[in-house]
Every structure is written in C-alpha cells, then in structure tokens.
Amino acid sequence: MIRAAITAVGGHVPDFILDNEGLSKMVDTNDEWITTRTGIKERRILKVPGKATSDMMVIAIEELLKKRGITAMDLDMIIVGTITGDYVFPSTSNVICDKIGAKNAWGYDLSAACSGFLYALATGSQFIETGRYKKVVVVGVDMMSSIINYEDRATCVIFGDGGGAVLLEPTEEDLGVKDFILRADGAGRNYLYQAAGGSLMPPTHETVEKKLHYVHQEGQTVFKHAVVNMAEVSAEIMEKNNLSSSDITWLLPHQANKRICEATANRMGLSLDKMLMNIERYGNTTSGTIPLLLWDYEKLFKKGDNIIISAFGGGFTWGSIWVKWAYDGSQYGK
C-alpha cells in the first residue's frame, strides 16, 4: 500500500507584531482578559503594501523545497486551504504556482475555515495514495487581518496572519497519513461567517457601511460546539485505530482557544506536555495554525511518532487526522 508521507515543512508569519497592549489602545480590551480567555499574547499582521496570502506561502514553499533539495518544477500539485485567498478568483494555488515557477503543477483552493488544512491534507493524500502523483504540496494559510474589523473587540483580539506548507510524497513504509475523520454541519454557518462578498450578498456601498465584509462570530456558541466536537472526534480517531493515550506522541490542536485545546487533550487522556501550542505568539491564523505548529516544532518530531491533528471551525467543519511522522526533524527546526 502506498501512503502519503510528510517529507518537509515550511512556514511563514509576517514581521509585524500586534500585542495585547497594542490592541488595548485600539479597542476596549486588556491583556488580562485576552490572556485568560484565549491564551493569546500577540499575533502577526501582514502590513506590507501589495503583499497578500500567496506571498506568505511563496516564502514557506521555497523553504520546504530547499530543505528537501528539489525545485518548484518537481511539484505535481499545490492544494491551498484558505478563506482569505488573494482574489475571489483565480485561486491562490494558481498565483503561487506562477510566483514560484511550478510550471508542471496545478491545484486549487479549498475552503473549510479553521479545518482548511485538515481537509486539504486529506485531499492531497488521496492523490499520492492512488499513485497518481509523487509530490503534492498542501498549504494552510490565512491573512485574517484582511477580513477583521479592528473596532470589534469580540473578533479582533483572536485572529492573526500566517501559515505553512507540507510536502507529501509516497512511501511504502508504515508512515504518513494513516487515517482521518472529517465532518461538516452547514447549520453552523450563521455563527461564524463573513456575510457579504459572496453571491448571496455581493459587495455594495451598503454592505461596506454596515461592515458586513468582516468576520462575524458568536463566540460562546462556537466555543460550545468546538469544545465538544473537537474533543469527541479526537477520541474517536483513537478508538477507531486502537490507539491508547500512551501511543500518542503529540497532539496538534487548532489554535483557536487554549481552553478548547486543553479540553481536547483531557478527553483523549493525554497529559498537557504532549500538546503543542503556539497560540500565545500567533493567535488564531485559521487554516494556518496546524502547519505553523508543524513548522515551529519540527525539530521535536522523530520517525514513527504518532501525531494527532485536530480542528474545529466555521461552517461548522471539524475533524482529526492521524499522521505517523516520516523523518527525523532534529536536522531542521528553528
């Protein structure tokens, strides 16, 4: 059986840091509230004129190619999980392929909000497992600052910009993407969404005046669904595969809220030292959080490590993926 192994990781966050102190000068909030409710201390914001989502991933993918010792011409496909593509169309995948010179590759964007990287990873792994392709890049990235209202304290303290990419290659060893459980419930769409800009409500002066082109979130409702569903699906993938908590090396939970992550680890019976976090530095980068965890902690990963990736987000979408790590990360890492 051919499996899809992650063989390299790249990531990028913008240089500009917006910390809790800075936010408290913009809206009625404070470091204590943000830290205790979410675990976030600072987030990165892309402020370079003319730069957007694709530019962050050009840097990430070039890092990944360098680590693996290949060129963009070797790539077959780039799948981008994002809700903040450079354009409504063409896809950010198209733009990235052009900017990095991946002339033999094609791809598309995939919209699943905070579960975007999980959906993209599951999709990319199928192209490898079928034997169709040898090198598929899977991206999770968002430039949330482009759709956040910095006068709305309920959302602006949470989100940030950034993301990363992984390379998938075939292996016949017992490594790589081992299993996934992905879920969706469109009935959740009214609790976390961007009302205007799509075909239901095309942008007009009025939609802009009413600030309908920004993210709207009913935080408590989303929290309640996230805390249950992310924990349950993570326990379910363990039960389905007869994995006990001692079999799990690392949990990489979507970085939306420290309390949701801890509830997930508890439900899995994992001690918190097996849970990797970086929410304090980047906030919630939506599709970007999981690849940013892989990028930040790559040096910890050893061949054969059992990694559980879990997320919950807008849609609602959620899920869990079991990855058996394929290489010694200590040679890389930051």
- Judged by DSSP in three states, 334 sits in coil
> Is residue 188 a contact partner of residue 182, using CB atoms and an 8 Å limit?
no
Q: How far is CA 185 from the centre of its chain?
A: 19
Sole binder of ligand UT7 in the list 214, 223, 301, 322 (CB under 6 A): 223
Q: Which residue has the tokens 């079991």?
A: 322
Strand order in the sheet with 250-253: 176-184, 317-324, 306-313, 250-253
Sole binder of ligand UT7 in the list 33, 150, 193, 332 (CB under 6 A): 33
Closest distance to ligand UT7 from the beta carbon of 34 (Å): 6
Rounded to whole angstroms, how far apart are CA atoms 209 and 224?
31
Piece in contact with ligand UT7 (CB under 6 A), picked from 81-89, 153-161, 200-208, 290-298: 153-161
> Is residue 223 a contact partner of residue 264, using CB atoms and an 8 Å limit?
no
Piece in contact with ligand UT7 (CB under 6 A), picked from 78-86, 130-138, 170-178, 252-260: 252-260
The single residue of 97, 114, 156, 261 carrying the catalytic annotation is 114
Amino acid at 69: G
Strand 250-253 and strand 306-313: the pairing is: parallel
Binders in 260-289 for ligand UT7, by CB under 6 A: 260, 284
Question: Is the Cβ of residue 80 or residue 226 nearer to ligand UT7 in the bound state?
Answer: 226
Binders in 66-95 for ligand UT7, by CB under 6 A: none
Smallest CA-to-CA distance from 95 within 107, 83, 104 is with 107
Closest distance to ligand UT7 from the beta carbon of 316 (Å): 9
Q: Is 216 a catalytic residue?
A: no
- Judged by DSSP in three states, 71 sits in coil
Strand partners of residue 313: 317
Sole binder of ligand UT7 in the list 170, 313, 315, 329 (CB under 6 A): 313
257 binds ligand UT7 (CB under 6 A): yes
Closest distance to ligand UT7 from the beta carbon of 218 (Å): 8
Piece in contact with ligand UT7 (CB under 6 A), picked from 55-63, 67-75, 127-135, 215-223: 215-223
Q: Is 114 a catalytic residue?
A: yes
The single residue of 254, 257, 261, 278 carrying the catalytic annotation is 254
150 binds ligand UT7 (CB under 6 A): no
Sole binder of ligand UT7 in the list 83, 100, 226, 321 (CB under 6 A): 226
What DSSP letter does each residue of 63-93 carry, written as one string? HHHHHHT--GGG--EEEEE-SS-SSSSS-HH
Angle subtended by helix axes 116-129 and 289-297, to nearest 10: 70
Applying CB under 6 A, which residues contact ligand UT7?
29, 33, 37-38, 114, 153-154, 157-158, 219-220, 222-223, 226, 256-257, 260, 284, 312-314
Catalytic (active-site) positions = 114, 254, 284
